């Protein structure tokens, strides 16, 4: 019984590791969609109005400014009550008014239709839960929704179960809105956003570089792959160190080992892309990392200490889930890698089939939620691990008679010289 348990331990741990890794990558993918820019938030009386946004864009165009961000304002009105056209059905919902691009504010797949266009004062988009409450299913674009005595035309129904409605705001609205999202066409993080706000006289808001946060989460999701890559390189290096006493054997080992190492680095997407915010302008500036960590910590602290918006309530659980799944995937990957010892080529093929089947099943299960984009490390590194183990085992068997021959020659050498 113990042998059977041991036999199935490696495949089971491998499947669990891939599932945790894939789910972590999916959450990181969701966070990336929400984190393509810099978010600003004002509390109390502060904020920016749609008229101020239009004025800032007009000045930027007249001045020929470069790297002008795309801006989206939003404000929330929870506890709203919406009606269908005949006012026969009612539903409680959270209404989010936005001015700008709805896809930047709330990136989700649509079941039908799309976001209301900017300036579409009569358009509305609702999630599937709100649509089911109003019409008993997925509503058709063109149906009527009533809210606060006004009539809106349904433009689309998106995935979601929270009861949410998205409404575009008006360009002539002079009221200050408390939330602003800035998306730069080129490189631009917290410092660029702060400079843009100061240039337009919009001060007092808390800034959070969501791109940097997204990169950190993506790096967490890549920890299992990094562990496999380092393990593969260590396997190759350890075999080379074991052969250093025999120059001929080491010379014959180096070319295939270097090719295998290059293949592992390619499969592991090495070197990784590092955001500009993490690269100091002067490498001699050793305080750069301390300032960066301090600034990010202060931004996160200020952000989490205030009231969270609906967007925050969607983002932060994803980040926490990604952190937990990354730790679980890393632990399971290390446990599985320790137990994978294929005895022949059939074991390598079986491992490849099991790995690919697990990932395809995960892609299928997540298809309705936007899909999972499989990365190169996730696809190839789990296959390389048993392949390298099998190849190094064959190499060891190949070396044994030659090592014995060298030892025999070394023992006979003194007698020959007498």
Domain spans of the chain, in order of start = 2-34+214-412, 70-177
pLDDT higher at 417 or 280: 280
Question: How much is the pLDDT for 284?
Answer: 66
Range name among 19-28, 92-101, 273-282, 380-389 with the lowest pLDDT average: 273-282
> Please, what is the average pLDDT of the chain?
85
Report residue 370's pLDDT band, with 50, 70 and 90 as the boundaries: confident
Report residue 144's pLDDT band, with 50, 70 and 90 as the boundaries: very high
Question: How much is the pLDDT for 417?
Answer: 41
Average pLDDT over every residue of 57-68: 80
Full DSSP string of 160-200 = -SS-EEEEE--TT--SPBSEEEEE-SSS--HHHHHHHHHHT
Tokens 């599937």, residue?
128
Question: How much is the pLDDT for 352?
Answer: 87
Distance CA 409, CA 416 (A): 10
Distance CA 212, CA 192 (A): 13
Contact criterion met (CB below 8 Å) for 94 and 162? yes
Question: How much is the pLDDT for 175?
Answer: 92
Question: How much is the pLDDT for 325?
Answer: 95
Question: How much is the pLDDT for 399?
Answer: 74
pLDDT reading at 14 higher than 60: yes
pLDDT reading at 348 higher than 60: yes
To 10 degrees, the CA torsion angle through 255, 256, 261, 264? 150
pLDDT reading at 380 higher than 70: yes
Range name among 115-129, 235-249, 343-357, 401-415 with the lowest pLDDT average: 401-415
Report residue 309's pLDDT band, with 50, 70 and 90 as the boundaries: confident
- Digit-coded pLDDT (tens) for 167-180: 999 988 999 999 99
Question: How much is the pLDDT for 67?
Answer: 78
Distance CA 223, CA 319 (A): 15
* Rg, the chain, Cα only: 29
If you average pLDDT over each of 101-110, 202-211, 391-400, which comes out highest?
101-110
Contact criterion met (CB below 8 Å) for 172 and 51? yes
Question: How much is the pLDDT for 416?
Answer: 41
Report residue 313's pLDDT band, with 50, 70 and 90 as the boundaries: confident
**First and final C-alpha spacing in the chain:** 59
Q: Which residues contact 16 (CB under 8 A, 6 or more apart)?
A: 332, 336
Task: Write down the pTM of the prediction.
Answer: 0.82
Tokens 């919009």, residue?
202
Question: How much is the pLDDT for 5?
Answer: 47
Token readout for 219 is 């790096």
Report residue 288's pLDDT band, with 50, 70 and 90 as the boundaries: confident
Question: How much is the pLDDT for 283?
Answer: 67
Q: Which residues contact 111 (CB under 8 A, 6 or more apart)?
A: 128, 138, 156, 157, 158, 159
Percent of residues, the chain, with pLDDT higher than 90: 42
Contact criterion met (CB below 8 Å) for 210 and 3? no
Report residue 271's pLDDT band, with 50, 70 and 90 as the boundaries: confident
């Amino acid at each position: 019984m113990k042998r059977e348990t041991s036999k199935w331990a490696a495949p089971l741990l491998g499947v669990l590791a891939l599932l945790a890794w894939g789910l972590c990558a999916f959450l990181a993918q969701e966070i990336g969609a929400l984190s393509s820019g810099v978010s600003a938030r004002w509390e109390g009386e502060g904020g920016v109005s749609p008229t101020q946004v239009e004025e800032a864009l007009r000045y930027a165009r007249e001045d020929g400014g470069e790297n002008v961000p795309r801006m989206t304002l939003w404000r929330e009105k929870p506890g709203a009550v919406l009606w269908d056209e005949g006012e026969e059905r009612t539903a409680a919902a959270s209404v989010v008014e936005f001015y700008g691009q709805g896809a930047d504010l709330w990136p989700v797949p649509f079941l039908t239709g799309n976001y209301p266009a900017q300036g579409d004062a009569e358009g509305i988009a609702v999630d599937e839960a709100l649509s089911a409450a109003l019409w008993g299913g997925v509503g058709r674009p063109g149906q009527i929704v009533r809210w606060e005595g006004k009539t809106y035309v349904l433009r689309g129904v998106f995935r979601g179960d929270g009861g949410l409605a998205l409404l575009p705001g008006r360009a002539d609205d002079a009221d200050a809105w408390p939330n602003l999202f800035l998306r730069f066409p080129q490189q631009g993080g917290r410092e660029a956003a702060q400079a843009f706000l100061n240039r337009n006289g919009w001060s007092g808001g808390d800034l959070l570089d969501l791109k940097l946060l997204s990169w950190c989460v993506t790096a967490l999701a890549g920890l299992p792959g990094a562990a496999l890559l380092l393990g593969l390189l260590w396997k190759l290096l350890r075999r080379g160190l074991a052969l250093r006493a025999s120059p001929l054997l080491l010379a014959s080992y180096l070319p295939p080992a270097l090719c295998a190492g290059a293949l592992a680095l390619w499969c592991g997407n090495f070197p990784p892309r590092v955001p500009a915010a993490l690269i100091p302008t002067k490498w001699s500036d050793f305080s750069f990392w301390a300032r960066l960590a301090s600034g990010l910590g202060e931004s996160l602290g200020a952000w989490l200490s205030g009231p969270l918006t609906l967007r925050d309530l969607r983002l932060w659980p994803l980040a926490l889930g990604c952190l937990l799944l990354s730790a679980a995937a890393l632990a399971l990957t290390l446990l599985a890698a320790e137990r994978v010892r294929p005895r022949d080529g059939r074991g390598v093929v079986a491992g490849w089939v099991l790995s690919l089947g697990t990932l395809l099943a995960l892609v299928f299960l997540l298809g309705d939620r936007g899909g999972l984009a499989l990365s190169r490390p996730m696809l190839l590194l789990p296959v390389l691990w048993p392949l390298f183990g099998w190849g190094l085992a064959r190499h060891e068997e190949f070396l044994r008679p030659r090592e014995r021959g060298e030892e025999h020659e070394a023992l006979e050498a003194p007698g020959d010289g007498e």
